[in-house]
Amino acid sequence: MAAPDPGALNEEQRQRLTDFKIQTRVSNETYLREHQEIQLLISGFMREVLLRRPENIRQFAAAHFTHPDVAQSVREKKRASAVS
C-alpha cells in the first residue's frame, strides 16, 4: 500500500476530513454505548474463541453467530447485567 500523499488535500480538506473522522468516532462510540447487546455478543464470542481455540475461525464465527440460541443468550446476559 502506498504512503499517504500529504499534498493530495489542501488545508481545508484536511480539516474537514479530520472533523469527519472525529464526528464518526463520537457517533460510533455513542451507538455502542446505547446498544449493550453488541458488547455482549462480542465478549461472548471472544470467550468461546479463547476457550475452544478453533482452527478455522471463520467457520467457527459463522456457526457461533448463526446459532439459534445466541439471541436468547444475549437477552439473558443483558437482563442479568441490568439487575446487578
pLDDT at 4: 73
- Span 27-80, pLDDT tens digits: 999 999 999 999 999 999 999 999 999 999 999 999 999 999 988 888 888 888
pLDDT at 17: 95
Q: Which residues contact residue 70 at a Cβ distance below 8 angstroms, ignoring those fewer than 6 apart? A: 41, 44, 64
pLDDT at 83: 77
